[in-house]
Protein backbone atom coordinates (compact mmCIF):
# COMPACT_ATOMS: atom_id res chain seq x y z
CA UNK A 1 0.00 0.00 0.00
CA UNK A 2 2.97 2.33 0.53
CA UNK A 3 5.94 3.00 -1.72
CA UNK A 4 9.16 4.68 -0.66
CA UNK A 5 9.56 8.24 -1.87
CA UNK A 6 12.85 8.27 -3.81
CA UNK A 7 14.97 9.63 -2.33
CA UNK A 8 13.34 9.89 1.08
CA UNK A 9 15.46 10.57 4.14
CA UNK A 10 15.43 7.76 6.70
CA UNK A 11 13.09 8.07 9.64
CA UNK A 12 10.72 6.31 12.00
CA UNK A 13 7.78 8.31 13.31
CA UNK A 14 4.40 7.44 14.81
CA UNK A 15 1.92 10.31 14.73
CA UNK A 16 -1.57 11.41 13.84
CA UNK A 17 -2.27 12.02 10.17
CA UNK A 18 -3.62 15.41 9.10
CA UNK A 19 -4.98 16.07 5.61
CA UNK A 20 -3.83 19.19 3.76
CA UNK A 21 -6.41 20.93 1.54
CA UNK A 22 -7.71 17.62 0.18
CA UNK A 23 -10.38 17.20 -2.50
CA UNK A 24 -12.11 13.86 -2.03
CA UNK A 25 -15.14 12.14 -3.59
CA UNK A 26 -17.85 12.90 -4.43
CA UNK A 27 -16.14 16.15 -5.55
CA UNK A 28 -14.44 15.61 -8.95
CA UNK A 29 -10.65 16.04 -8.84
CA UNK A 30 -9.10 16.73 -12.26
CA UNK A 31 -5.95 17.97 -10.53
CA UNK A 32 -5.27 18.70 -6.88
CA UNK A 33 -3.63 21.83 -5.47
CA UNK A 34 -3.09 20.18 -2.08
CA UNK A 35 0.04 21.56 -0.43
CA UNK A 36 1.01 23.88 -3.27
CA UNK A 37 0.70 27.00 -1.13
CA UNK A 38 2.05 27.68 2.35
CA UNK A 39 -1.48 28.81 3.25
CA UNK A 40 -2.71 25.25 2.68
CA UNK A 41 -0.99 24.39 5.97
CA UNK A 42 -2.82 27.01 8.03
CA UNK A 43 -4.03 25.10 11.08
CA UNK A 44 -1.62 22.23 10.56
CA UNK A 45 -0.38 20.88 13.89
CA UNK A 46 3.41 20.60 13.98
CA UNK A 47 4.56 17.05 14.63
CA UNK A 48 1.76 15.40 12.71
CA UNK A 49 2.15 13.45 9.46
CA UNK A 50 1.02 15.53 6.49
CA UNK A 51 -1.33 13.78 4.06
CA UNK A 52 -1.01 15.50 0.67
CA UNK A 53 -2.55 14.83 -2.73
CA UNK A 54 -0.55 14.64 -5.92
CA UNK A 55 -1.23 17.24 -8.61
CA UNK A 56 -0.78 20.69 -10.17
CA UNK A 57 2.55 21.81 -8.68
CA UNK A 58 5.92 20.13 -8.21
CA UNK A 59 6.22 17.50 -5.49
CA UNK A 60 9.22 19.40 -4.14
CA UNK A 61 7.03 22.47 -3.59
CA UNK A 62 4.43 20.49 -1.61
CA UNK A 63 7.11 18.79 0.47
CA UNK A 64 8.97 21.98 1.29
CA UNK A 65 5.75 23.58 2.49
CA UNK A 66 5.04 20.55 4.66
CA UNK A 67 8.52 20.65 6.16
CA UNK A 68 8.23 24.34 6.95
CA UNK A 69 4.87 23.67 8.62
CA UNK A 70 6.57 21.23 11.01
CA UNK A 71 5.42 17.90 9.56
CA UNK A 72 7.16 14.89 11.13
CA UNK A 73 6.43 12.73 8.09
CA UNK A 74 4.75 13.02 4.70
CA UNK A 75 2.37 10.77 2.77
CA UNK A 76 1.65 11.77 -0.85
CA UNK A 77 -1.24 9.98 -2.55
CA UNK A 78 -2.88 10.00 -5.98
CA UNK A 79 -5.82 12.27 -6.75
CA UNK A 80 -8.09 9.45 -7.88
CA UNK A 81 -9.56 10.97 -11.03
CA UNK A 82 -10.44 8.66 -13.94
CA UNK A 83 -7.41 7.61 -15.95
CA UNK A 84 -4.86 8.23 -13.20
CA UNK A 85 -2.76 5.17 -12.52
CA UNK A 86 -1.29 4.40 -9.14
CA UNK A 87 2.27 4.52 -10.47
CA UNK A 88 4.49 7.43 -9.45
CA UNK A 89 7.27 8.68 -11.74
CA UNK A 90 10.84 8.67 -10.46
CA UNK A 91 11.52 12.35 -11.12
CA UNK A 92 9.95 13.69 -7.96
CA UNK A 93 12.19 12.90 -5.04
CA UNK A 94 13.95 16.17 -4.26
CA UNK A 95 13.79 17.04 -0.59
CA UNK A 96 15.90 19.19 1.63
CA UNK A 97 15.26 18.14 5.18
CA UNK A 98 15.04 15.16 7.50
CA UNK A 99 11.39 14.18 7.11
CA UNK A 100 10.61 10.59 5.96
CA UNK A 101 8.19 10.32 3.03
CA UNK A 102 6.16 7.65 1.31
CA UNK A 103 3.68 7.36 -1.58
CA UNK A 104 0.24 5.81 -1.26
CA UNK A 105 -2.39 4.98 -3.83
CA UNK A 106 -5.71 6.82 -3.81
CA UNK A 107 -7.59 4.14 -1.87
CA UNK A 108 -5.13 4.31 1.04
CA UNK A 109 -5.02 8.11 1.07
CA UNK A 110 -8.79 8.36 0.93
CA UNK A 111 -9.15 5.89 3.83
CA UNK A 112 -6.70 7.82 5.98
CA UNK A 113 -8.39 11.12 5.15
CA UNK A 114 -11.79 9.67 6.02
CA UNK A 115 -10.70 8.27 9.39
CA UNK A 116 -10.75 10.99 12.08
CA UNK A 117 -7.71 10.84 14.34
CA UNK A 118 -5.97 8.16 12.24
CA UNK A 119 -2.49 7.44 13.56
CA UNK A 120 0.17 5.60 11.58
CA UNK A 121 3.75 4.50 11.98
CA UNK A 122 5.82 5.78 9.07
CA UNK A 123 9.20 4.06 8.82
CA UNK A 124 11.68 4.52 5.97
CA UNK A 125 15.02 2.72 5.79
CA UNK A 126 17.21 4.70 3.41
CA UNK A 127 20.73 5.98 2.99
CA UNK A 128 21.40 9.42 1.58
CA UNK A 129 24.87 10.67 0.76
CA UNK A 130 26.01 14.08 -0.35
CA UNK A 131 26.92 14.15 -4.03
CA UNK A 132 27.92 16.73 -6.59
CA UNK A 133 26.91 17.22 -10.20
CA UNK A 134 27.32 20.23 -12.45
CA UNK A 135 25.16 22.26 -14.78
CA UNK A 136 26.77 23.19 -18.09
CA UNK A 137 26.14 26.85 -18.95
CA UNK A 138 27.27 28.61 -22.14
CA UNK A 139 26.33 32.00 -23.51
CA UNK A 140 26.97 34.12 -26.59
CA UNK A 141 30.00 36.41 -26.47
CA UNK A 142 27.93 39.29 -27.75
CA UNK A 143 24.49 40.61 -26.90
CA UNK A 144 23.18 42.95 -24.23
CA UNK A 145 23.82 41.31 -20.83
CA UNK A 146 20.93 43.33 -19.41
CA UNK A 147 18.57 41.29 -21.62
CA UNK A 148 19.26 37.57 -21.42
CA UNK A 149 17.37 34.95 -23.39
CA UNK A 150 17.81 31.65 -21.58
CA UNK A 151 17.30 28.27 -23.23
CA UNK A 152 17.45 25.04 -21.20
CA UNK A 153 17.20 21.26 -21.36
CA UNK A 154 18.21 18.60 -18.87
CA UNK A 155 21.11 16.24 -19.54
CA UNK A 156 20.42 13.50 -17.01
CA UNK A 157 18.27 10.41 -17.38
CA UNK A 158 16.74 7.99 -14.90
CA UNK A 159 18.72 5.01 -13.67
CA UNK A 160 16.43 2.59 -15.52
CA UNK A 161 17.15 3.88 -19.02
CA UNK A 162 19.51 5.77 -21.34
CA UNK A 163 17.09 8.68 -21.78
CA UNK A 164 17.41 9.34 -25.51
CA UNK A 165 14.01 10.98 -25.80
CA UNK A 166 14.03 12.08 -22.14
CA UNK A 167 16.01 14.16 -22.57
CA UNK A 168 18.64 13.58 -25.21
CA UNK A 169 16.13 15.02 -27.69
CA UNK A 170 15.87 18.44 -26.02
CA UNK A 171 19.57 18.61 -25.15
CA UNK A 172 20.64 17.80 -28.72
CA UNK A 173 18.23 20.34 -30.17
CA UNK A 174 19.46 23.23 -28.05
CA UNK A 175 23.10 22.21 -28.60
CA UNK A 176 22.64 22.40 -32.37
CA UNK A 177 20.87 25.76 -31.95
CA UNK A 178 23.83 27.06 -29.93
CA UNK A 179 26.34 25.84 -32.51
CA UNK A 180 24.50 27.59 -35.34
CA UNK A 181 23.77 30.78 -33.38
CA UNK A 182 27.51 31.18 -32.74
CA UNK A 183 27.89 32.31 -36.37
CA UNK A 184 25.66 35.37 -35.93
CA UNK A 185 25.86 38.58 -33.88
CA UNK A 186 22.89 38.91 -31.53
CA UNK A 187 21.20 41.91 -29.97
CA UNK A 188 20.36 40.15 -26.68
CA UNK A 189 22.67 37.78 -24.87
CA UNK A 190 21.59 34.13 -25.26
CA UNK A 191 22.45 31.69 -22.47
CA UNK A 192 22.18 27.91 -22.94
CA UNK A 193 21.74 25.69 -19.89
CA UNK A 194 22.25 21.94 -19.86
CA UNK A 195 20.76 21.03 -16.50
CA UNK A 196 21.90 18.31 -14.14
CA UNK A 197 19.70 16.24 -11.82
CA UNK A 198 16.31 17.14 -13.24
CA UNK A 199 15.10 13.60 -12.73
CA UNK A 200 15.56 13.70 -8.97
CA UNK A 201 13.75 16.96 -8.46
CA UNK A 202 14.96 19.81 -10.72
CA UNK A 203 18.07 20.13 -8.55
CA UNK A 204 20.28 21.77 -11.17
CA UNK A 205 17.86 24.44 -12.33
CA UNK A 206 16.49 25.00 -8.83
CA UNK A 207 19.89 25.65 -7.31
CA UNK A 208 20.91 27.83 -10.28
CA UNK A 209 17.90 30.12 -9.88
CA UNK A 210 18.21 30.12 -6.10
CA UNK A 211 21.78 31.39 -6.26
CA UNK A 212 21.07 34.24 -8.69
CA UNK A 213 20.88 37.69 -7.18
CA UNK A 214 17.68 39.67 -7.66
CA UNK A 215 19.44 41.78 -10.30
CA UNK A 216 20.62 38.67 -12.16
CA UNK A 217 17.14 37.20 -12.18
CA UNK A 218 15.71 40.43 -13.51
CA UNK A 219 18.13 40.32 -16.45
CA UNK A 220 16.74 36.94 -17.60
CA UNK A 221 13.90 38.20 -19.78
CA UNK A 222 12.62 34.81 -20.99
CA UNK A 223 13.28 31.16 -20.23
CA UNK A 224 12.60 28.53 -22.91
CA UNK A 225 12.46 24.88 -21.80
CA UNK A 226 12.73 21.83 -24.04
CA UNK A 227 12.19 18.48 -22.34
CA UNK A 228 11.12 15.50 -24.50
CA UNK A 229 10.63 16.92 -27.99
CA UNK A 230 10.66 13.71 -30.05
CA UNK A 231 8.20 11.32 -28.40
CA UNK A 232 7.32 8.37 -30.66
CA UNK A 233 3.53 8.90 -30.38
CA UNK A 234 3.95 12.67 -30.24
CA UNK A 235 1.67 15.65 -29.94
CA UNK A 236 3.00 19.18 -30.42
CA UNK A 237 2.30 20.61 -26.97
CA UNK A 238 3.13 24.20 -26.01
CA UNK A 239 3.25 25.30 -22.39
CA UNK A 240 0.00 27.14 -21.75
CA UNK A 241 1.35 30.55 -20.85
CA UNK A 242 -2.04 32.28 -20.68
CA UNK A 243 -4.08 29.36 -19.25
CA UNK A 244 -6.32 29.55 -22.32
CA UNK A 245 -7.19 25.89 -21.73
CA UNK A 246 -8.63 26.95 -18.36
CA UNK A 247 -7.66 23.63 -16.80
CA UNK A 248 -5.06 22.55 -14.27
CA UNK A 249 -2.25 24.92 -13.41
CA UNK A 250 -2.62 28.70 -13.70
CA UNK A 251 -1.03 30.93 -16.33
CA UNK A 252 2.71 31.52 -16.33
CA UNK A 253 4.26 34.87 -15.35
CA UNK A 254 3.42 37.87 -17.58
CA UNK A 255 5.17 37.38 -20.92
CA UNK A 256 4.62 33.61 -20.93
CA UNK A 257 1.58 34.01 -23.19
CA UNK A 258 3.77 35.84 -25.72
CA UNK A 259 6.18 32.89 -25.78
CA UNK A 260 3.34 30.44 -26.38
CA UNK A 261 1.97 32.59 -29.22
CA UNK A 262 5.43 33.02 -30.76
CA UNK A 263 5.96 29.26 -30.85
CA UNK A 264 2.44 28.66 -32.13
CA UNK A 265 3.08 31.10 -34.97
CA UNK A 266 5.98 28.92 -36.15
CA UNK A 267 3.82 25.79 -36.23
CA UNK A 268 1.02 27.64 -38.01
CA UNK A 269 3.54 28.75 -40.65
CA UNK A 270 3.97 25.05 -41.46
CA UNK A 271 0.24 24.34 -41.25
CA UNK A 272 0.76 22.31 -38.10
CA UNK A 273 -1.55 22.25 -35.11
CA UNK A 274 -0.58 22.61 -31.46
CA UNK A 275 -2.29 21.96 -28.14
CA UNK A 276 -1.62 23.40 -24.71
CA UNK A 277 0.11 21.67 -21.83
CA UNK A 278 0.15 22.76 -18.21
CA UNK A 279 2.98 24.29 -16.26
CA UNK A 280 2.67 21.34 -13.86
CA UNK A 281 6.11 21.76 -12.29
CA UNK A 282 7.60 18.58 -13.72
CA UNK A 283 10.46 20.18 -15.65
CA UNK A 284 13.12 22.85 -15.33
CA UNK A 285 10.87 25.81 -16.06
CA UNK A 286 9.52 25.35 -12.50
CA UNK A 287 12.14 27.40 -10.63
CA UNK A 288 11.94 30.17 -13.25
CA UNK A 289 8.18 30.65 -13.12
CA UNK A 290 8.36 30.45 -9.32
CA UNK A 291 10.33 33.71 -9.30
CA UNK A 292 8.29 35.43 -12.01
CA UNK A 293 10.45 34.88 -15.11
CA UNK A 294 8.35 34.52 -18.31
CA UNK A 295 8.66 30.93 -19.55
CA UNK A 296 7.52 28.61 -22.30
CA UNK A 297 8.57 25.70 -24.44
CA UNK A 298 7.65 22.55 -26.32
CA UNK A 299 6.75 19.11 -24.99
CA UNK A 300 5.71 16.07 -27.04
CA UNK A 301 4.32 13.98 -24.18
CA UNK A 302 5.49 11.40 -21.66
CA UNK A 303 3.48 8.67 -19.90
CA UNK A 304 0.14 10.40 -20.56
CA UNK A 305 -2.35 8.87 -22.98
CA UNK A 306 -2.95 10.36 -26.42
CA UNK A 307 -6.57 11.36 -26.97
CA UNK A 308 -8.62 10.66 -30.10
CA UNK A 309 -8.69 14.42 -30.79
CA UNK A 310 -4.89 14.56 -30.64
CA UNK A 311 -4.58 11.52 -32.91
CA UNK A 312 -6.78 13.34 -35.44
CA UNK A 313 -4.47 16.38 -35.27
CA UNK A 314 -1.06 14.70 -35.15
CA UNK A 315 -1.52 11.11 -36.27
CA UNK A 316 -0.29 8.22 -34.16
CA UNK A 317 -2.37 6.02 -31.86
CA UNK A 318 -5.13 7.21 -29.57
CA UNK A 319 -5.35 5.40 -26.25
CA UNK A 320 -1.59 4.79 -26.16
CA UNK A 321 1.08 6.70 -24.22
CA UNK A 322 2.95 9.45 -26.04
CA UNK A 323 6.13 7.62 -25.04
CA UNK A 324 5.66 3.98 -24.06
CA UNK A 325 9.35 3.85 -23.12
CA UNK A 326 9.18 6.80 -20.71
CA UNK A 327 11.70 6.16 -17.91
CA UNK A 328 12.37 2.65 -19.19
CA UNK A 329 15.37 0.83 -20.66
CA UNK A 330 13.80 1.00 -24.14
CA UNK A 331 14.26 4.80 -24.31
CA UNK A 332 17.04 4.27 -26.84
CA UNK A 333 17.87 5.88 -30.17
CA UNK A 334 15.08 3.80 -31.76
CA UNK A 335 12.57 5.54 -29.46
CA UNK A 336 12.84 8.87 -31.31
CA UNK A 337 10.23 10.13 -33.76
CA UNK A 338 12.34 11.86 -36.40
CA UNK A 339 9.44 13.93 -37.78
CA UNK A 340 8.76 15.42 -34.35
CA UNK A 341 12.47 16.00 -33.74
CA UNK A 342 12.94 17.73 -37.10
CA UNK A 343 9.96 20.06 -36.64
CA UNK A 344 10.70 20.84 -33.00
CA UNK A 345 14.41 21.47 -33.61
CA UNK A 346 13.42 24.07 -36.20
CA UNK A 347 10.88 25.60 -33.82
CA UNK A 348 13.51 25.79 -31.08
CA UNK A 349 15.98 27.51 -33.39
CA UNK A 350 13.30 29.88 -34.65
CA UNK A 351 12.09 30.99 -31.21
CA UNK A 352 15.62 31.32 -29.81
CA UNK A 353 16.77 33.44 -32.76
CA UNK A 354 13.72 35.69 -32.67
CA UNK A 355 14.15 36.48 -28.99
CA UNK A 356 17.88 36.90 -29.51
CA UNK A 357 17.05 39.92 -31.67
CA UNK A 358 13.68 41.14 -30.42
CA UNK A 359 12.07 41.09 -26.98
CA UNK A 360 9.15 43.34 -27.88
CA UNK A 361 6.07 42.03 -26.13
CA UNK A 362 8.01 40.63 -23.18
CA UNK A 363 7.44 42.86 -20.13
CA UNK A 364 10.28 43.78 -17.83
CA UNK A 365 9.67 41.76 -14.70
CA UNK A 366 10.75 42.05 -11.10
CA UNK A 367 11.82 38.52 -10.23
CA UNK A 368 10.92 37.44 -6.73
CA UNK A 369 13.32 36.19 -4.11
CA UNK A 370 13.25 32.62 -2.85
CA UNK A 371 14.13 31.45 0.63
CA UNK A 372 17.59 29.87 0.85
CA UNK A 373 17.65 26.18 1.74
CA UNK A 374 20.34 23.57 2.31
CA UNK A 375 20.89 20.98 -0.43
CA UNK A 376 20.63 17.23 -0.05
CA UNK A 377 20.90 14.86 -3.01
CA UNK A 378 20.53 11.14 -3.34
CA UNK A 379 23.57 8.92 -3.55
CATH of the domain at 169: 3.40.630.10
CATH of the domain at 110: 3.50.30.30
pLDDT tens per residue across span 41-63: 999 999 999 999 887 776 777 88
pLDDT band at 5 (very low <50, low <70, confident <90, very high): low
pLDDT tens per residue across span 128-160: 676 789 999 999 999 999 999 999 999 999 989
Residue 24 and residue 50 in one domain: yes
Task: Identify the pLDDT of residue 26.
Answer: 63
pLDDT tens per residue across span 17-34: 999 988 776 655 556 788
Domain-located, residue 244:
yes
Which is catalytic among the residues 198, 199, 260, 310? 198
Which is more confident, 2 or 107? 107
Q: Could you write out the three-class secondary structure of the chain?
A: CEEECCCCCCEEEEEEEEECCCCCCCCCCCCCCCCCCHHHHCCCCCCCEEEEECCCCCHHHHHHHHHHCCCCEEEEECCCCCCCCCCCCCCCCCCCCCCCEEEECHHHHHHHHCCCCCEEEEEECCCCCCCCCCCEEEECCCCEEEEEEEEEEECCCCCCCCCHHHHHHHHHHHHHHHHHHCCCCCCEEEEEEEECCCCCCCHHHHHHHHHCCHHHHHHEEEEEEECCCCCCCCCCEEECCCCCCCCCCCCCCCCHHHHHHHHHHHHHHCCCCCEEECCCCCCCCHHHHHCCCCEEEEECCCCCECCHHHHHHHCCCCCCECCCCCCCCCCCHHHCCHHHHHHHHHHHHHHHHHHHHCCCCCCCCCCCCCCCCCCCCCC
Is position 198 annotated as part of the catalytic site?
Answer: yes
Residue 284 and residue 351 in one domain: yes
Last residue of a domain, one of 65, 95, 124: 124
pTM score of the predicted model: 0.77
Residue 197 and residue 322 in one domain: yes
Amino acid sequence: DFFTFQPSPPGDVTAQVQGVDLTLPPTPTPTSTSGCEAADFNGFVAGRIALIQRGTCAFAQKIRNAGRAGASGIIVFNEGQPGRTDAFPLDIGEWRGGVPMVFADFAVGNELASTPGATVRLKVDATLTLGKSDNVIAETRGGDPRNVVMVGAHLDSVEAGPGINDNGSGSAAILETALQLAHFPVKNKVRFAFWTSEEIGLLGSDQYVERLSAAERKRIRVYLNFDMVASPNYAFKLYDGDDSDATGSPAGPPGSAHIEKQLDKFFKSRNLATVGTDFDGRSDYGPFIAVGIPSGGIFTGAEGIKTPAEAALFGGQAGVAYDVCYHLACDTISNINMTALDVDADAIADSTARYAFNLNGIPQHSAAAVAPVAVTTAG
